[in-house]
Chains A and B, each alone.
Chain A
Amino acid sequence: MEPPSATSTASPIRDEGNLKPRLIIGILILACLLLPLLVEQPYYLYLINLTGIHAILILGLNLLVGFTGMVSLGHAGFFAIGAYLSTKIVMNLHLPWILGLLGGGTGALVGGLILGIPTNRMKDLTLSLVTLGFGISIYRVLMSWTSFTGGAIGITDVPPASLLGFSFKEAAASFYLIYGILGILLAVAASMAHMRVGRALLAIREDEVAASAMGINTRYYRIMAFAMSAFYCGCAGSLFAHYIGFVSPDSFTFHHSITFVSMVVVGGMGSVAGSFLGAAGLTLILEYFRTFSQYQLVLYGLSVILFVVFLPNGLAGLAEGIERRVSKLFQK
């Protein structure tokens, strides 16, 4: 990939500006906490929860794509590892859900290491192609390894998540769980962006040779980014399995991998806020287009193209532009 020009990519450092008005953030969080009480239709709550799960996943993918410039087209594979492992841990080993979550995340992390270490020398398209092959291979394994994964039917009756005896059966309860975990992971990612790790990753994205000349162990950081990103995906997978209540290969296809990367780009590469915006944007658009029945995916494909062509900095860039204009308006 050609080195991204300074204007075309969103820098995570910009989020610092977004975090400053703490009051607004606080009000937003409060409003969010009340959300499940206000939303009456269970379908809308389901969409909101799905957005939260996607946001965790996209956050993980953005760590990789946005911060290091490595493009993975196989993250549905890590999502699947997290979902299936967590399901297996809870259902077959009868361990508490929190271990399922951690186990799913760790399993995906190990998968990320297994894939990340040998692909370390690969770049750009080669890497995306290898990850793509990985995603499709995982899907094939899910379909064919019937004794473990249940084949095409998958595993049904996955118990809902539970923590310290409290079961997250209700959608509203799941909302707090999903968004709580999203909040934690978001905080980790946001603080990472300003620590040595985040800056090292950014330096690698901008210029790998210069970064290594500055004493950054590029190999180590690239592998770490890969593994962390896989861990986020695995956690999202666990939440997904226990929230939806069943897992089947249909949720982890090549198309899902594409959708995830599109979410990153539509949201804004390298932007923590953009991860959420991208997840929300595409999840909602995809659901909205459902009303057009057979035209759903045609319109979806078209809107992805339009987003990429007309919004190079993603929704985060758009939001920032609006914010800047609004603040200018007030200054006058």
Chain B
Amino acid sequence: MDRVQGRVENPPLASTKLETFGREVRALWFFLQIMLGGLSIGAIYSLIGLGFSMLWSAMGIVNFAHGEFAMLGAFLGVTLMKMAGLPFYASFPLTAVLIGLFSLLVDRAVLRPLRNRDLLYIVIATLGLSIFLQNGAILVWGAGGMLFPTVFGAQPLQIGGLITTPQTLSVLGIGILLMLGLQVFLAQTKIGFCLRAAVQSPETASLMGIETRFTNALTFFLAALLAAIAGMFIAPIVYVTPDMGVLIGLKGFSAAVVGGYGNMLGAMVGGIIIGAAETLGAQYLSSAYKDVFAFLAMFIVLLVSPNGLFGKRKIDRT
């Protein structure tokens, strides 16, 4: 920022025109800086939204307790690092895998009995599950919350005119890498191929010898894994509390719906839109209404296109 100021104000012939130009440039840099923060929050929402979309397209279910996996991931991450003293690079994948395994248990206990029932029952049951997990977390870790150690460093960095933290950049970077990795996994590996086949048509896939029970479990596992990672990413920014999962989950869900429910690319783009809307709104309008801006963005997108940005239009035929 300083360099930008210097460059514009130093010339002796600084006319008013140049000054306004300088102000505009500074405003632009500032905007980009806010935008970067929005993108990194958006990447977190994308990871959650991806999970929602995967579950929907694979099994036609919606898990309102999905945000709780992010919360549990954050708590478990802190516990492993602080209590067990594990280094970050060990506790990070361990936590993600443990939460993934835990989600399989949840699937077996709550969601499988409801698989063929009306969607509303699944919504209510998973909302009950969300209350259960949140208050279970209060019992285990207390309601007060914990501080997640900043592993990437909170020391501000300056890149060109942008001031940012390594935290923001690494969240953005790793988030994008994970999403790309998932795409490669789905597109290139045999298991990914099976997963996509099972999503497209469960019956045909099982006729082709694909064990759909296995692919469903794997989908669940991957979705929860992504959520746990998202939880550990957002934890240093928001403080780890038992109720942190609710809004993260809901915004992740919004991201999935904005992008077109069930569409993976859509979930990623949707996350970015929600994250950018809330960060920009909080910065330029009012930070108290941050959540309102996120949902307003979703509302506007859905008004224009009720099936989301990349959603397929369903045709009603009878």
Contact = CB atoms under 8 A, between A and B. Distances in A.
Does B associate with A? Answer: yes
Contacts of A130: 295, 298-299, 302
A305 B288 contact: no
Nearest to A130: B299
A43 interface: no
Given A122-B306, A144-B288, A295-B139, A302 B128 contact: yes
A325 interface: no
A137 B128 contact: no
Contacts of A258: 127, 131
Contact of A261 (B60, B124, B133): B124
Given A1-B119, A305-B132, A118 B250 contact: no
Contact of B289 (A5, A71, A140, A261): A140
Contacts of B119: 1-2, 124-125
Contacts of B247: 136
A133 interface: yes
Contacts of A309: 110, 113-114, 125
Contacts of B308: 126
Contacts of A265: 120-121, 124
B257 A129 contact: yes
B288 to A, nearest CB: 4
A305 B128 contact: yes
Nearest to B298: A133
B139 A298 contact: yes
Interface in B272-318: 286, 288-289, 291-292, 294-296, 298-299, 302-303, 306-308, 316-318
A76 interface: no
Interface residues of B, number: 50
B302 A140 contact: no
B136 interface: yes
Interface string A1-26: 11011001100000000000000000
Contacts of B60: 2
A227 B309 CA distance: 28
B124 A304 contact: yes
Contacts of B233: none
Nearest to A146: B288
A1 B317 CA distance: 15
Given A132-B250, A209-B316, A262-B124, A297 B117 contact: no
B269 interface: no
Chain B: interface secondary structure?
helix
B274 to A, nearest CB: 11
B246 A254 contact: yes
Nearest to A266: B124
A294 B113 CA distance: 28
Contacts of B299: 130, 133
Given A140-B291, A141-B292, A209-B316, A129 B124 contact: no
Given A255-B131, A258-B127, A133 B62 contact: no
B101 interface: no
Given A132-B250, A261-B127, A8 B117 contact: yes
A157 interface: no
Contacts of A5: 118
Given A126-B302, A126-B306, 4 more contacts: A73-B123, A132-B295, A294-B139, A309-B113
Interface of B: 60, 62, 110, 113-114, 117-121, 123-125, 127-136, 138-139, 246-247, 250, 253-254, 257, 261, 286, 288-289, 291-292, 294-296, 298-299, 302-303, 306-308, 316-318
5 contacts: A126-B307, A133-B254, A254-B250, A300-B128, A301-B134
